[in-house]
Amino acid sequence: MGRKERRERETKRENYATKHSAEKRKQTLIAVGVLAVIISIVGYAGWMFVNMTETAPGGPENAGALGSEHSHAGILVKIFGDSFDFAAPAYQIKSSWIHFEGRDGSTVHKHATGVTLGYLFESLALGLDDQCFQFQDGRNFCTNDDYELRFFVNGEELPDIRDLEIVEDDKILITYGAETPEEIESQLLELENQELIK
C-alpha cells in the first residue's frame, strides 16, 4: 500500500470522525434543549399549583391557596329521618377546595382556608339556605308550619351554616322533618358515632 492510499484512508477516517462527532454534538444539543423545555414546563406547573389561590378557576371567593389547610368534619343529613348519601359518585370530589372523597359520604375534606360549607353545597349543585334544602332534581325541603330545616354543629343549633368554615373534627347535622327532641338527640348520637375518614 502506498503513501497516497494511506493518506486517503486517514483523511476519510478523519472526515468520518469529524462528521460523527458533529452529529453526536448536534443530537446532544437537541436533547439538552428538549430537556430544558420540559423542566421549565414542569417547574412552572409546579409553581402554579403551589401558588393557586382564589383566583384559580373554580375556586371559592376569599379562599386561601390549595393546601393552606386540611381539615375534616363529619356530616349527617337527615330528610324525614332518612340519611342522604353523599357517597354516590355524583357527590364525590366536585371541587379541589372542599369535597367528599374515597366513596365516603360522611367526611367533608377541606383543603384551603376561607372555604365555607355553602361553597361545598354549591359545588355539589345542591341548594341550601337557612330555610330550604334543594336537590338537583328540584325537590325542595323548606321550613313550613309542619316541618323544619335545622342545623346543628357540635351539638349546638345554629340558624344557618352556609358561612361556616369547618375545623378539624367538627360534627354537622342537617335535619328536616318534625323531629322530637329525643329524635334529634338520636340523630346527634348517630353523627357522633360516625367515623371520620382522613
pLDDT digits (tens, 9 = 90+) for 170-182: 999 999 999 999 9
Predicted confidence at residue 55, as pLDDT, reads 44
Q: Is the pTM of this model over 0.75?
A: no
**Residue 58 pLDDT class (50, 70, 90 cuts):** low
| Grid coordinates of 50 | 403551589
Residue range 158-166: mean pLDDT, rounded: 96
**If we measure between CA atoms, which residue out of 105, 118, 116, 110 comes closest to residue 195?**
105
Give SS3 for 34: helix
| Distance, CA of 46 to CA of 65 (rounded, Å) | 13
**Span between the terminal Cα atoms of the chain, in Å:** 83
Facing residues of 91 across strands? none
% residues pLDDT > 90 (the chain): 61
Residue range 25-48: mean pLDDT, rounded: 78
% residues pLDDT > 70 (the chain): 89
Q: What is the dihedral of CA 118, 76, 91, 55, to 10 degrees?
A: 30
CB atoms within 10 A of CB 3: 7
pLDDT for 63-121, tens place per residue? 888 889 999 999 999 999 999 989 999 999 999 999 999 999 999 999 999 999 999 99
If residue 132 lies in a helix (H) or strand (E), which one and from where to where? strand 132-134
